[in-house]
Amino acid sequence: MEMNCEDSPSWWKNGVLYHMYLRSFADGNGDGFGDLKGAINRIDYISELGVNGVWLSPTSPSPNNDWGYDVSDYLGVHPDYGTLSDLEEFIDRCNRLGIEVILDLVPNHTSSDHAWFIEALADPHSPFRQYYVFSRGKPDGSPPNNWLDATGGSAWTLDPSSGEYYLHNFLPSQPDLNWWNEEVHKEFEGILRFWFDRKVAGFRIDVAHGVFKDELLRDDPPAPEISKEFSHFGLVETYSKNREDVHPLYRSWRKIADSYDPSRVLVGETWVNDISRLASFYGNDDELNLAFNFMFVFTEFNARAFSEIVGNTLNALPKGASAAWTGSNHDISRFPTRWADGDYDKIRMALAILLTLPGTVFLYYGDEIGMRDVDVPVELQRDPMTKLIPAARFQRDRARTPMPWQEGPGRGFCDPNTTPWLPFGDDDGLDVESQRRDPNSTLNLTKLLIELRRQVKESLLDYQLVEATDSIWRYRCGSLEVLANFGDEIYALETERSERVVSSRQLEGVVIRGDSCIEVGPKEVIVLKR
């Protein structure tokens, strides 16, 4: 199998982006929450990692019912994080170090505190009423249809003063926008331009698969028994999200992005279970530049499963398209826990694999040190969305705990006497400072892999499967050859003379006998440069 990327290299193509969950990255003003000042103080670290870009989690003002994913002003900066000029300074400082910054854009819904929604509720005849999805209930007074929100309750809340319901696919305080209204399109065009004008290099688009709903508001069908586990509380979101109508919208946004310069990037949060649907978000190289692949995220950690999902994805994407790979984010279990169950050999394998795939790699803050999920006692939990779901599949606070920069109280994240907004994990000597000192640490492995990726960035044009068995996955990607041993036995092979590059287990001294025999130990990845 051969995949080709476009000729023109963009900074993000085959690059690495660092997903900074700002609230947990570094506290610069002593309140226990991460902020822009804290992030600015840590820019050297980002630069030292060698990443090409940063994706900042939402920075807009918000009442924080969904920690920023409930926006009350798209053109502002949340005072918890600082000011617009702090954000501009962050972008500028990053740019000067050759790092681009993308923001999180939330077009599916606003906060109920947004001025548009306040107007919409106050006056049913206001033009802002049409910005949202209001509908009369059924004749018996029940909600217009069976759609369920993110807590499993009805996705409709009654506005008692008008007798109409409004739609919210997430929390009741996150009313969904009405993308059938051209005025909403115009507002967002203005929002895109506002940030592009401020040197933002692109956007991660929240709920990119879901912004359009069925105009007829038809009921979502029940999920077949076999896929109940992955359904939305027993329903398939055929009508409440996942409409094909999003494509013209992304074509129009791509035109805006390209009109600034073609290296701007639009990345979709595309939670779909089907690779051809994932591929559709790229359009004909005229929609999203990148679409997150959650099928990869939830792949089992074994040779066949990884090789299959990577091969299938690359085969399905349109010619020239770049895949978007990630293992962790703020909504799901971190990969060091989910894939590796805290086993550092596996964590390091996963990093070596992620960082040698063709396309764009997103590391979530802490991935580079193998940061695992943290048990957050119920009294300290802060995420209203997963707190509200007794049967939540995942308690999201576990993946959002503050970055451990060093040992001891405050962990270098905040003042030692300040209580961080979420608790730290164990003080286990695996913090950034400790790992900086250890030449064989996960952090140093990550840096080495990113550096290697930079060196061969332009060559990562094609992926070729060499071998996939129950325990071995061997592939070539540009000038790299990757040997991943998921099994318990040593894997020895004859290979052409290659420059030895890196082993996930031991940063110095890859075991190579003679010129051509390589041994890959259990739970080890060896990367060769050809």
Closer residue to ligand GLC, CB minimum distance, 154 or 326: 326
From the list 206, 287, 368, 373, which residue makes contact with ligand GLC (rule: CB under 6 A)?
Answer: 206
Q: Which parts of 42-71 interact with ligand GLC (CB under 6 A)?
A: 66, 69
Residue 465 exposed, middle or buried by CB count within 10 Å (0-12, 13-18, 19+): middle
To ligand GLC, the closest distance from the beta carbon of 150 in angstroms equals 7
Q: Per this entry, what is the length of the chain?
A: 530
To ligand GLC, the closest distance from the beta carbon of 391 in angstroms equals 17
Cβ atoms of residues 24 and 34 within 8 Å? yes
For residue 209, give the nearest of 296, 131, 278, 109 by alpha carbon.
278
Sign of CA dihedral 161, 164, 169, 174: negative
To ligand GLC, the closest distance from the beta carbon of 132 in angstroms equals 15
> Rule CB under 6 A: is residue 27 a binding residue for ligand GLC?
no
Residue type for position 272? V
| Active-site annotation holds for 458 | no
Q: Which parts of 369-398 interact with ligand GLC (CB under 6 A)?
A: 385
Closer residue to ligand GLC, CB minimum distance, 329 or 485: 329
Q: Which parts of 232-271 interact with ligand GLC (CB under 6 A)?
A: 269
Closer residue to ligand GLC, CB minimum distance, 106 or 468: 106
> Rule CB under 6 A: is residue 170 a binding residue for ligand GLC?
yes
Torsion of CA 66, 72, 76, 80, to 10 degrees: -40
Q: Give, in order, the Cα–Cα distances in Å from 21 to each of 27, 55, 150.
A: 12, 8, 21
Query: Is residue 116 helix, strand or coil?
Result: helix
Closer residue to ligand GLC, CB minimum distance, 33 or 491: 33
From the list 43, 101, 207, 310, which residue makes contact with ligand GLC (rule: CB under 6 A)?
Answer: 207
Helices and strands (H, E) in the chain, number of each type = 14, 19
> Rule CB under 6 A: is residue 350 a binding residue for ligand GLC?
no
Closer residue to ligand GLC, CB minimum distance, 66 or 367: 66
Question: How many angstroms separate the CA atoms of 357 and 324, rounded?
Answer: 9
Question: How many angstroms separate the CA atoms of 483 and 491, rounded?
Answer: 9
For ligand GLC (CB under 6 A), the number of binding residues is: 10
Q: Kindly give, in sequence order, each residue whose CB lies less than 8 Å from that of residue 63, ignoring residues fewer than 6 positions away.
A: 70, 72, 111, 113, 173
> Rule CB under 6 A: is residue 331 a binding residue for ligand GLC?
yes
To ligand GLC, the closest distance from the beta carbon of 198 in angstroms equals 23
Q: Which parts of 452-511 interact with ligand GLC (CB under 6 A)?
A: none
Cβ atoms of residues 318 and 290 within 8 Å? no
Q: Where are the alpha helices (DSSP H) in 261-323?
A: 275-280, 294-297, 303-316
Sheet holding 524-529, edge to edge: 463-468, 472-477, 480-485, 524-529, 499-503
Closer residue to ligand GLC, CB minimum distance, 330 or 474: 330
Catalytic residue from among 269, 287, 368, 524: 269
| Active-site annotation holds for 269 | yes
> Rule CB under 6 A: is residue 36 a binding residue for ligand GLC?
no
Catalytic residue from among 70, 206, 220, 397: 206
Contact residues toward ligand GLC (CB under 6 A) are 66, 69, 106, 170, 206-207, 269, 330-331, 385
Residues noted as catalytic: 206, 269
